[in-house]
Amino acid sequence: MTTLFSGTCSRRTFAWALIVLAFVILLLLPCLVAACGQQAKVDPQAVLAAASARMKEIKGFHFVYEVHQPKDWKPGAGLYIARITGDVNAEGHMRATVDAVWGGVPVSLGFVALGDTHYIQDPISKKWQTVPAAQSPVGTLNLNAGTIRILDRIMDATYVGEDNKGGTKTHHLKGKVAAAEVEAIAGAVDTTDTFPTDIWVGSEDNLVYEVDIAGAATPNEDKRIWRSIVLSNLDVYVEIQAPQ
């Protein structure tokens, strides 16, 4: 009798557990459906359009532009940019520090871009020299215009999901960008290939917080290379003048 009673209680307990579990699932189901529905309703084209409009009106931003090489990469004899850290204002002027590898030796250069005139600080003498933009070591790099062009012309854009960048909730989008649109980001492009691209846009403020671009821009680059632009201090103006 004791064994039968214990077995009956166990079955009843299990049955009640199933009932409670089913009840909890029924309570949570509307929330889960709403969450999935909300994510599915995110239109990547609408996000990109809103981000483009917002980025065109901001006062400026701080940025970290980085070229990510494979671990087994070995620099050649030329100049290779590894990282650029600085500020861009609404006029498109840039003030930054360029970390590069020159002939296998790491160097750090002061850099200012005012329209078609670029200023480069000699890493040894610390003196500034003026060079035309066409002869600048950063080429046609224009992070402000380049970011907007990518927002406007990215192809096959899809919504990946929600993410967090710098403490800000963002929409993560991905797509492909034509070589011509990457030139302002890479500084120089010699290919017709498209570039897989990921973009993170603030879900509430429509500001761009990061852009990642994968692929070689020139034949001498490793195919595994990728570039990232991380933005912060968005919509903050920084006055940039020619160095004295």
* pTM given for the model: 0.80
From first to last of its 244 residues, the chain has per-residue pLDDT tens of 444 444 554 555 545 544 544 444 444 555 444 444 444 589 999 999 999 999 999 999 999 999 999 988 887 777 788 999 999 999 989 999 999 988 788 999 999 999 889 999 988 889 999 998 878 877 777 888 889 999 999 999 999 999 999 899 999 999 999 998 888 888 778 888 899 999 999 999 999 999 999 999 988 888 999 999 999 999 999 999 999 8
Domain covering 44-232 assigned CATH 2.50.20.20 in the classification: yes
Compute the 3-state secondary structure of the chain and give helix, strand, coil in percent, each to the nearest 5.
30, 40, 30
Q: How many CA atoms lie within 13 A of 149 on its CB side?
A: 15
Q: Where are the domains of the chain?
A: 1-41, 44-232
Tokens 């797509």 belong to residue:
175
